[in-house]
Structure 1
Amino acid sequence: MKICGMWIFTVLFVGSLQVSADEQLLFDFSEADNIRNAEAKGSSISLVTNNVGAAVRVDTGSVNKWPGITLYLRGGVDASAYKTATAQITNPGDVPLTVYWRIDSEGRAVEGNKNQRSASKSITLAAGETKRMRYPLFPHIDYPGVNPDEFFGMQGKPFSNRHALYLEHLRSFTFYLIQDGVSRSFEIGKIQLENKRPDENRGVKKAVIPKKIFPMIDEFGQFKHADWPGKTHSLKQLKQARIEEDLFLNKAGRPASWNRFGGWKDGPRLEATGWFRTEKYEGKWYFVDPDGNLFFSLGIDGVGFSSGTILDDREHWFECVPSDTPKNAEFWFGYKPGLKRSHWYNRDVRAFRFHKFNARRKYGENYEEEFAETACRRLPAWGINTLGNWSSPDVYLKGKLPYVAYLRPQSKRVEASQGHWGKFCDVFDEDFVMKLKKQLSRYPIAETINDPLCIGYFVDNELSFGDTVSLAVASLCSPADQKSKQVFIADLKKKYGDIHALNSVWKSEHASWDDLLDYTEAPDLEAARADLEAFYTKFVRTYFKTVHDVLEEFAPNHLYLGCRHGSHAAINDVVMQANIEYADVVSFNIYARYLSDKASRLTLAGNKPILIGEFHFGALDRGMFDGGLVPVADQMERADAFSQYVLDCVKHPNVIGCHWFQYVNSPTTGRVWDFENYQIGFTDVCDTPYSELIEASRAVGEQLYRK
Structure 2
Amino acid sequence: MKQIISLEHNKFEFTKAGGEVFLSKMDEINWDNATFLVCIVETQNEWLVPLIIKIYNSQGDYLQVHIGAIPQTEVVVGFPLSALDAQNVFLPRTPGKLKTLVSGTKISKSEITRISIGTCPNYQSQSFNIKEIYLDSEEPNYLLPEKKLVDAYGQDKTRDWQGKTKKEEELLAYLQSQLGKKSDFPAEWSKYGGWRKKQFKGTGFFRTEHDGQRWWLVDPEGYAFWSAGIDCVRPEVQGLLDGIEEFYEWLPDKSKEFEDMYYKDEKGMHYVDFSLANLIRAYGEEYKGSWIEMTTDRMKQWRFNTIGNWSSLDFIKEANIPYVLPLKGFPSTEKTIFRDFPDAFSQEYKAGAVNFAKQLEEYNEDPYMVGYFLTNEPLWAFAGDINLAEELMEKKETLDSKFVFIEKMKEKYKNDIQAFNKSWNVNLQQFEDLLIPMKSPSTCSKQAKLDLEDFTKELIYQYTKVVCDAVKEIDEHHLNLGMRYAWISTENIFEGSKLFDVFTLNNYSMVPNETDITDVSKKSGLPVLIGEFHFGAIDVGLPSTGLKGVTTQAERAKAYRYYIENAAAMSNLIGTHYFTLNDQAVLGRFDGENFQIGVVDICHRPYEDFVDGITVAHERIYSVASGLESPYSERAKEIPRIGF
Q: TM-score range by the shorter chain?
A: 0.7 to 0.9
Distance 1:165 1:427 in 2: 44
Q: Are residue 486 (structure 1) and residue 403 (structure 2) matched?
A: yes
Query: Which amino acid in 1 is paired with 2:284?
Result: G
Q: 1:142 to 1:493 in 2, by over 3 A?
A: closer
- CA offsets, 1:291-337, max 9 Å, x none? 11100000001111335222233222110112345654443334587
Distance 1:516 1:440 in 2: 34
Query: Which amino acid in 1 is paired with 2:395?
Result: S
Deviates more, 1:146-155 or 1:293-302: 146-155
Equivalent in the alignment of 2:186: 255
Q: Are residue 605 (structure 1) and residue 559 (structure 2) matched?
A: no
Preserved CA contact (<8 Å) 2:353 2:466:
no
Shift of 1:360: 2.3
Choose the corresponding residue for 1:698, options 592, 599, 615.
Answer: 615
Unmatched runs of 5 consecutive residues or more in structure 1: 1-109, 122-138, 170-211, 338-347
The CA RMSD measured in Å over matched residues stands at 3.2
Query: Which amino acid in 2 is paired with 1:153?
Result: K
Q: Are residue 664 (structure 1) and residue 582 (structure 2) matched?
A: yes
Query: Which amino acid in 2 is paired with 1:387?
Result: I
Shift of 1:446: 2.9
Choose the corresponding residue for 2:569, options 651, 656, 663.
Answer: 651
Distance 1:635 1:164 in 2: 19
Choose the corresponding residue for 2:13, options 102, 108, 115.
Answer: 115
Distance 1:391 1:628 in 2: 20
Shift of 1:455: 0.7
Q: 1:595 to 1:410 in 2, by over 3 A?
A: closer
SS of 1:278 mapped into structure 2: strand
Unmatched runs of 5 consecutive residues or more in structure 2: 1-7, 20-43, 49-70, 77-94, 101-118, 128-144, 629-644
Distance 1:316 1:112 in 2: 27
Choose the corresponding residue for 1:223, options 152, 156, 173.
Answer: 156
Equivalent in the alignment of 1:357: 277
Distance 2:254 2:503 in 1: 45
- CA offsets, 1:348-401, max 9 Å, x none? 543222222323223321322332333222211111000011112122233511
Query: Which amino acid in 1 is paired with 2:577?
Result: H
TM-score for the superposition, normalised by structure 2: 0.73
Q: 1:359 to 1:430 in 2, by over 3 A?
A: farther
SS of 2:169 mapped into structure 1: helix
Choose the corresponding residue for 2:263, options 305, 316, 333.
Answer: 333
Q: 1:328 to 1:513 in 2, by over 3 A?
A: farther
Distance 2:155 2:489 in 1: 37
Q: 1:335 to 1:447 in 2, by over 3 A?
A: closer
SS of 1:287 mapped into structure 2: strand
Distance 1:142 1:294 in 2: 43
Q: 1:316 to 1:554 in 2, by over 3 A?
A: same
- CA offsets, 1:600-658, max 9 Å, x none? 25423215311010000001211111000001111110111011111011111111100
Shift of 1:119: 4.9
Q: Are residue 457 (structure 1) and residue 372 (structure 2) matched?
A: yes
SS of 2:222 mapped into structure 1: coil
Distance 1:697 1:276 in 2: 24
Preserved CA contact (<8 Å) 2:45 2:126:
no
Q: Are residue 571 (structure 1) and residue 571 (structure 2) matched?
A: no
Q: 1:701 to 1:468 in 2, by over 3 A?
A: closer
Query: Which amino acid in 2 is paired with 1:506?
Result: W
Aligned residue runs from structure 1 range 94-133, under 5 A: 115-117=13-15, 119=17
Preserved CA contact (<8 Å) 1:540 1:575:
yes
Q: Are residue 523 (structure 1) and residue 441 (structure 2) matched?
A: yes
Preserved CA contact (<8 Å) 1:414 1:423:
no
- CA offsets, 1:252-309, max 9 Å, x none? 43223211000002x1221111111111124011101111110000000111133522
Choose the corresponding residue for 1:394, options 293, 296, 314.
Answer: 314
Q: How many pairs were matched up?
A: 511
Preserved CA contact (<8 Å) 2:18 2:120:
no
SS of 1:279 mapped into structure 2: strand
SS of 1:486 mapped into structure 2: helix
Q: Are residue 154 (structure 1) and residue 103 (structure 2) matched?
A: no
TM-score for the superposition, normalised by structure 1: 0.66
Preserved CA contact (<8 Å) 2:194 2:226:
yes
Shift of 1:410: 3.8
Equivalent in the alignment of 2:167: 234
SS of 2:195 mapped into structure 1: coil
Q: 1:482 to 1:165 in 2, by over 3 A?
A: same
Aligned residue runs from structure 1 range 270-309, under 5 A: 270-309=200-239
SS of 2:549 mapped into structure 1: coil
Query: Which amino acid in 2 is paired with 1:689?
Result: P
Shift of 1:695: 1.6
Q: Are residue 543 (structure 1) and residue 463 (structure 2) matched?
A: yes
Distance 2:97 2:11 in 1: 26
Q: 1:307 to 1:425 in 2, by over 3 A?
A: farther
Distance 1:449 1:602 in 2: 31
SS of 1:115 mapped into structure 2: strand
Query: Which amino acid in 1 is paired with 2:519?
Result: T
Query: Which amino acid in 1 is paired with 2:195?
Result: W
Aligned residues: percent identity? 29
Distance 2:397 2:242 in 1: 41
Preserved CA contact (<8 Å) 1:409 1:435:
no
Preserved CA contact (<8 Å) 1:414 1:424:
no
Distance 2:256 2:179 in 1: 31
- CA offsets, 1:510-565, max 9 Å, x none? 44444422425331433412221221121122223223322321111111112112
Query: Which amino acid in 1 is paired with 2:516?
Result: S
Distance 2:353 2:317 in 1: 20
